[in-house]
Amino acid sequence: MFPRIMISLPKLISNAQTILSLCKRHGVSSIFLVGKVLAGYKEVLGALAPLGFTYLADSRMDNLKKFQEFSIPKALTRIPMLSEIKDVIKYSSLALVSEIKTIEALSQEAFRQEKNYDVILMFDLGDLREGVFYKEDYMPLIKAILHLPNIHLKGIGTNLTCLEGVIPDQVNMGILVDIKNKIENAFEIHLDLVSGGNSSTLYMLDNLPSQINNLRIGEAIFLGRETAFGNLIPGMFQDAFTLEAEIVEIQRKPSHPIGTLSINAFGETPILRNSGEMNRAILAIGKQDVDHNHLTPHDSTIKSLESNSDYLIIQLEDNTYHLGDIVSFSLDYASLLQCMSSHYVRKILLNS
C-alpha cells in the first residue's frame, strides 16, 4: 500500500551511535534523544533510546505517554501547557520551562502525585523563541524556583536556530555559562545540566565551552546533518528515510491550462508557464500528507509541479514510467515530520 515511508533501522542506529560518541568525545556527557519528528513511532525510538541517551524527549505529551514501557527517563521539550500539568507530572520526569506560574503548577501537581520533578529553566539568548530573556534579572525567578516543593532545578538551557535562525556561537554559549556561574555562586547550588541547544550546536563541538554538558538532538540523528549550516556529518546516513508514492495517471498534456483562470482549491493563484506538451504523471499523495516543495525525487529528471490535497503532479522527462509505478523521494526535516504525522502514509521498518 502506498504512499509509504521506508525506514532503515540499522542506519538510524548507526547515526545515533555516531552522535553519542561524537558528543561524548567532546565532553558533552548527557544527550537527549529528541524524537518528535517521528510522531511517537515507538519501533524506532524504543531501539535508539537505550543506546546511551540520558532522556527520551518529545514535544508532545501524547507521544511521551506512548513511551511509558521504555525505562529511560522522559523529558518534555515543549514548555508545558497549564492544561496538561497532570499528565506532564505523570508521564515525564523533566520539562523545559520558562514561566513561574507553570513551574508553580508543576510543583503543586508533583506534590499531589508524591513525586519530585526536574526542570530545565530555558533562557532566550536571541532566537526569540522560548525562555527567559537573558538580559532580565533572573535571580528572583531562580530564588522562587528553589523554594518550590517537589521541584528540582536540574539545569539551565537554551534553544537556538529554531525560529529566527540565530546560530550558537562563542558569545551566546558564553552567556549561558555565565548565567550558570552566577546562579551557582549566588545560591551555592550545583546545576547538573547546562543544555547548549540542538543539532545546530554540533558544528562547534570543538570549541564548545566545557561547562556545556548537555545537548538535545533530533535532526542530526535522523537526517545525518548539523543544522547551523546544513552540513553533512561524516560517516552518517542521510537516507535512512525514503518516501514512495504510486502513479495513478500518466498522460501527455499541455503544460498550460485551458479556459478562464481564477484561483485553485487552496485559494492560490498558480504561477503558470507554457512549455508545450509534457509527460504528466499524477501520484497518489497530496498536501494532506506532505508539502511537495520539501521532497526531492531520487530520479533527478523528475520535476515536481503542483499538488492539491490528494495529488502530486510531476513532469517526467523520459517515458519509461507506467501506471502503477512507484516514484521515490528523499525528505528534509519538514517533510519527514509531515509524513510521520500523517496516518495516510504507511510506515515500513527495514532491517537493512
Ligand X SMILES: Cc1ncc(COP(=O)(O)O)c(C=O)c1O
Which positions lie near ligand X, rule CB under 6 A? 34, 36, 59, 77, 96, 159, 198-199, 216-220, 227
> 312-316 and 277-283 as β-strands: parallel, antiparallel, unpaired?
antiparallel
Contacts of 188 (CB under 8 A, 6+ apart): none
User: What is the closest distance, in whole angstroms, from the C-beta atom of residue 205 to ligand X in the complex?
Assistant: 13
Phi, psi of 260 (to 5 degrees): -75, 130
226 burial level (CB within 10 Å; 0-12, 13-18, 19+): buried
Q: How many C-alpha atoms does 221 have within 13 Å on its Cβ side?
A: 30
Site of grid cell 535522523? 222
Nearer to ligand X, 219 or 289 (CB): 219
Nearer to ligand X, 34 or 151 (CB): 34
Q: How far apart are CA 218 and CA 36, in angstroms?
A: 8
335 burial level (CB within 10 Å; 0-12, 13-18, 19+): buried
Nearer to ligand X, 59 or 211 (CB): 59
User: What is the closest distance, in whole angstroms, from the C-beta atom of residue 141 to ligand X in the complex?
Assistant: 19
User: What is the closest distance, in whole angstroms, from the C-beta atom of residue 223 to ligand X in the complex?
Assistant: 9
Strand partners, 312: 283, 307
Q: How far apart are CA 218 and CA 34, in angstroms?
A: 5
Q: How many C-alpha atoms does 12 have within 13 Å on its Cβ side?
A: 23
User: What is the closest distance, in whole angstroms, from the C-beta atom of residue 96 to ligand X in the complex?
Assistant: 6
Nearer to ligand X, 201 or 307 (CB): 201
Nearer to ligand X, 96 or 212 (CB): 96
Nearer to ligand X, 145 or 223 (CB): 223
Nearer to ligand X, 219 or 244 (CB): 219
User: What is the closest distance, in whole angstroms, from the C-beta atom of residue 285 to ligand X in the complex?
Assistant: 24
Distances (CA, A) of 349 to 92, 178, 218, 236, 237: 27, 45, 19, 19, 16
Residue 168: asked if its preceding bond is cis (omega within 30°), the reply is: no
